[in-house]
A = this chain, B = another copy of it.
Amino acid sequence: MRVIFNEELKAVADDLDQMAQDVHKAINLAGDALMDSDVEAAQTVIDGDIEIDALESSIIDQCVRLLAKQNPVATDLRVVVASMRLATTFERMGDLARHIAESARRAYPASPIPAEAQELFGKMKDFLNMTADRLVNMLMDRDANIAEKVIVDDDVLDALHHQTFEFALDENWKGTRQQIIDIVLLGRFMERLGDHAVSAARRVVYIVSGFDPTKLPQRDEGTDID
Contacts and interface: CB of A to CB of B under 8 A. Distances in A.
Contacts of A4: none
Given A81-B84, A84-B84, A223-B99, A178 B188 contact: no
Q: Residue among A84, A102, A223 with the most chain B CB within 10 A?
A: A223
A162 to B, nearest CB: 13
Given A68-B73, A99-B225, A225-B102, A177 B169 contact: yes
Interface in A173-198: 177-178, 180-181, 184-185, 188
Interface string A21-59: 000000000000000000000000000010000000100
Counting chain A residues whose Cβ lies within 8 A of the other chain, the interface size class is 35 or more
A185 B64 CA distance: 36
A226 B165 contact: no
A217 B81 CA distance: 25
A68 B77 CA distance: 7
Interface string A64-76: 1001100111100
Contact of A169 (B49, B181, B184, B185): B181
Contact of A214 (B57, B168, B185, B188): B57
A41 B121 CA distance: 36
Nearest to A107: B226
Contacts of A169: 177-178, 181
A141 interface: no
A220 interface: yes
Interface of A: 49, 57, 60, 63-64, 67-68, 71-74, 77-78, 81, 84-85, 88, 95, 99, 102-103, 105-106, 165, 168-169, 171, 177-178, 180-181, 184-185, 188, 212, 214-215, 219-220, 223-226
9 contacts: A57-B214, A60-B81, A67-B67, A67-B77, A71-B71, A106-B226, A171-B177, A180-B180, A184-B184
**Among all A-B residue pairs, the 10 with the closest Cβ atoms:** A106-B226, A71-B71, A68-B73, A169-B177, A181-B184, A184-B184, A68-B77, A102-B226, A180-B180, A64-B81
